[in-house]
Amino acid sequence: MRKRKVVEQLKASFGQVKREGFQFDLIERYFLNKENSDSFQVLSDKTCHDIDFEELFMFLDRTSSKVGQQYLYNHLRVIPNALVSIDQKEHLVERLTTDIDLRIKTQLLLKKLDKGDAYYIASLFQEEHQKPPRWFFLVYLLSAAGLLSLLMLPLYPQLFLVFLGVMLLNMGIHYWNKKNLYRYVGSIPQLLQLNSIAQHLFKEELFQPIDPELPIAIRMINQVRNRMSFFRLEARIQGDAEAVLWGILELLKITFLLEPLLLFGVLKRLDSKRKEIERVFRFVGEVDLLISIASLRKGVAMYCLPEIGDSEFSAKKVYHPLIPNCVPNSIAVSDKSVLLTGSNMSGKTTFIRAIGINVITGLTINTCFAEAISIPRLRIHSAIRISDDLMNDKSYYFEEVLTIKEMIDSSSLGSPCLFLLDELFKGTNTIERISAGKAVLSKLSKNGNRVFVSTHDLELTEMLTDEYDLYHFSEVVIDRKVDFDYRLKKGKLTSRNAIRILQVNDYPSDLIDEAMDISKKMDDNALVKTL
C-alpha cells in the first residue's frame, strides 16, 4: 500500500515544482569541492547573486535524490567546453518523458538516496579521510589482549583484574573513536545504497551508454561491502534505539575494539577507490538529472532546445521563468550588443536577467524558456546588483569600479563573453558617468563580446549607435494611472514620463511646473549644442 502511494505521488509530482526546503550549504558541497578547471566557465558567486541563482535552482530542481540534487547544482554552475553526447541525452530525456513505467521504476530507486545523509557521500571521494594516530598499533595489541584475557578467564580467574584493566583502556579508546565514527556513520551506509542503486540502474539497457565501464567501478566498491555493512548496522541501531541489542554490541565492540579497527580499515580501502566512488556518483546523478530535465520541460508553458552557433544571438518569445505570466519578448542581433532604455519598473533589468538565465540553461541543460533561441557559446559576467562593502570600507562606486575592471580584463582573453550590466556607474555624477560609461561599453563590445546593458542616460544612445542596437521599454500615463506593457521595442526611448508620474502621485503643482520648465530648458540647451 505504501509503495502504491509513493508511485501516485511520483506521477502527480512530475512537472511540478518541489515543495520542500533547500539546504544550500549541503547542496553546494559537491560543487565547492569539485575540480572544474577544465570547464568552459564556472559561474561566479557574483553572477549567481545577480540572476537569483538559488531561486532559479529551486525552480529547475526536479530531482528525486540528494545525489542528483548536488549533481544538478554543479551542472548548472559549470558550463562545459562542449555539449557532449547531446543527442544521446535528448534521447534519454524523451524516453523518460514518454515511458512512465520506466521513469517511476527509476525514481523509486533514486528516492532511496533522498535522506540527508546522502549529501555526505561526495565527501568520501572529495575530502581527506580521518587518519589513525601514531599510537594506533596499540589498538591491535589491546584488541588481542581483550580476546586472550577473555578466553583465559575461565581457566585463570586471577586474570580478571587484567581483563578489567584492558576493558577500561579499551573503553577509553572506544569512546575516543566515537567522534570519528559519527563522521562516517551516515555517508558510508549511503555509499552502499548508492552502489546498489547504480547496479540496478545499469541493468536497464537505456542507461548503459552513460558509462559503459561502470560495472568495473561497482565491483571495486563491492570489495569493501562486507566491512561497510557494519556502519549500516550501526546507523540502523542508533535510529531504532534498540537498547538491549545496542548494549550487547557495545560491550563486544569495546572488548575487541571493533569500531576503530573497522573504521580505519574501511577508510584505508575507500581512499584507494575515490575515482570509482565518484564514477558511480556521477552515473546516478546523471540519471536523476535527465529525469529532472524531463519533469522541468513537462511543467513549463513553453520551452525550446537552443541552437548554439558562433555569432547569431536571437530569441523568439523569450521569457523569465521565475516570473508568473511573464510577458515574452523577441530580439535579434547579429554582431552588435544591446543598449536598453526605459523607466524604472518597465522591464529592463528583468529582460537582462532573462537573457542571462536562458544562456546558462541553454549551455548547461540544453533547455531555454522561449519559442526559439539561437546563442553563441559565451562566458557570462554580470554587474546587476552592486552594494557598499562597508566592512571593508568600500563605497558603492568603488565596488562597481572593481567589478567592471574584472569585466574589462575578461573581455580581451580570447573567448567571447556575455556582459550583463544594469545602470553603469550610477554611483557618480552625470558627466563622468556618461563619459566613463561610453568608453567602458565601447571597450567591452570588442573582440566578439556581447553586452546587454540598461541605462537612463539617453545621451549614450547617440554615442553608441555604431556598436549597439537600441531597444527600449516604455509605459503609458493615462489620467492617474501608470500602465506598463513590458514589451521590448526597437529603437531608443523618446518619451519621458518621470515627471508625469510625480504628478499623478499628487506632488505639489508648483514643484511639477518648475520641474517641467527646467526639463524643457535643458532639452533646448542640448539641442542648441548639437546644432
pLDDT digits (tens, 9 = 90+) for 22-57: 999 999 999 999 999 889 999 999 999 999 999 999
Give the β-pairing of 481-484 and 417-422.
unpaired
Q: How far apart are CA 174 and CA 138, in angstroms?
A: 12
Contacts 24+ apart (CB under 8 A), 238-244: 238/185
- For the chain, state the CA radius of gyration: 31
Three-state DSSP at 55 gives helix
Find out whether 307 and 439 touch, Cβ atoms under 8 Å. no
Taking the C-alpha atoms of residue 89 and residue 73, their distance in angstroms, rounded to an integer, is: 18
Average pLDDT over residues 213-223: 94
CA dist list (Å): 320 to 240, 355, 363, 462: 47, 8, 16, 29
Mean pLDDT value of segment 88-111: 96
pLDDT in tens, 518-527: 877 776 665 4
pLDDT beyond 50 at 531: no
326 vs 142, which has greater pLDDT? 326
Q: Pairing between strand 417-422 and 379-383?
A: parallel
pLDDT at 489 over 90: yes
> DSSP string spanning 212-273?
TTHHHHHHHHHTTHHHHHHHHHHHHHHHHT-HHHHHHHHHHHHHHTHHHHHHHHHHHHHHTT
The pTM score is 0.89
Ramachandran bin of 369, using left for φ above 0, alpha for ψ from -120 to 50, beta for the remaining angles: beta
Q: What is the DSSP letter of 394?
A: B
User: For residues 369 and 358, is the Cβ–Cβ distance under 8 A?
Assistant: yes
Position with higher pLDDT, 309 vs 363: 363
- How remote is the C-alpha of 106 from its chain's centroid? 23
Q: What is the per-residue pLDDT for 10?
A: 92
Higher pLDDT, 250 or 303: 303
Count Cβ atoms below 10 Å from residue 347 Cβ, excluding itself: 26
CA atoms of 279 and 161, how far apart (whole Å): 51
**How far apart, in whole angstroms, are the C-alpha atoms of residue 263 and residue 227?**
9
Residues with Cβ within 8 Å of residue 395, at least 6 apart in sequence: 388, 427
Measured CA to CA, the distance from residue 531 to residue 458 in angstroms comes to 18
Could you give the CA distance from residue 55 to residue 51 in angstroms, rounded to a whole number? Answer: 9
- Residue-wise DSSP of 114-145: -SGGGGGTTHHHHSPPPPPPGGGHHHHHHHHH
Give the mean pLDDT of the chain.
88
Nearest alpha carbon to residue 43 among 379, 359, 354, 350: 379
Mean pLDDT of 56-68: 98
Which element (helix H / strand E) includes 299?
A: helix 274-299
Distance, CA of 301 to CA of 298 (rounded, Å): 8
Contact by Cβ (8 Å): 264, 177: no
The number of beta carbons lying within 10 Å of the beta carbon of residue 78 is 18
Residue 16 to residues 4, 57, 63, 103, Cα–Cα distance (Å): 19, 14, 11, 15
Q: What pLDDT sits at residue 251?
A: 81
Q: Rounded mean pLDDT of 295-317?
A: 93
Q: Domain-by-domain residue ranges, the chain?
A: 2-133+177-299, 307-495
Q: How confident is the model at residue 457 (pLDDT cuts 50, 70, 90)?
A: confident
pLDDT score of 530: 43
Closest to 339 measured CA to CA, from 502, 481, 459, 484 = 459
Whether 302 contacts 372, CB under 8 Å:
no
Q: Which fold has domain 2-133+177-299?
A: MutS, DNA mismatch repair protein; Chain A, domain 3 (1.10.1420)
Of the two residues 509 and 285, the one the predictor is more confident about is: 285
CB 66 within 8 A of CB 116: yes
pLDDT in tens, 220-278: 999 888 777 776 655 555 545 455 666 777 788 788 788 888 888 889 999 999 999 99
pLDDT reading at 211 higher than 60:
yes
Given a cut of 90, whether residue 316 has pLDDT beyond it is yes
Q: In this structure, what C-alpha cell is assigned to residue 146?
A: 581483550
Tell me which CATH code domain 307-495 carries. 3.40.50.300
Bigger pLDDT: 351 vs 513: 351
Classify residue 410 by burial, with Cβ atoms within 10 Å: 0-12, 13-18, 19+: middle
Cell of 420: 550583463
- pLDDT of the residue at 524: 63
Angstrom distances, CA of residue 229 to CA of 90, 261, 262:
38, 14, 10
More confident residue, 166 or 420: 420
Contacts of 45 (CB under 8 A, 6+ apart): none
The whole-angstrom separation of Cα 315 and Cα 333 is: 9
Query: What pLDDT does residue 214 have?
Result: 97
Cβ-based neighbours of 524, under 8 Å, separated by 6 or more: none
Q: Which residues of 114-130 are buried (b: 16+ CB within 10 A; e: fewer)?
A: eeebbbbbbbbbbeebe
Locate all alpha helices (DSSP H) within 320-372, ordered by sequence: 348-364
Q: Which residues pair with 381 in a beta bridge?
A: 419
pLDDT of residue 69: 98
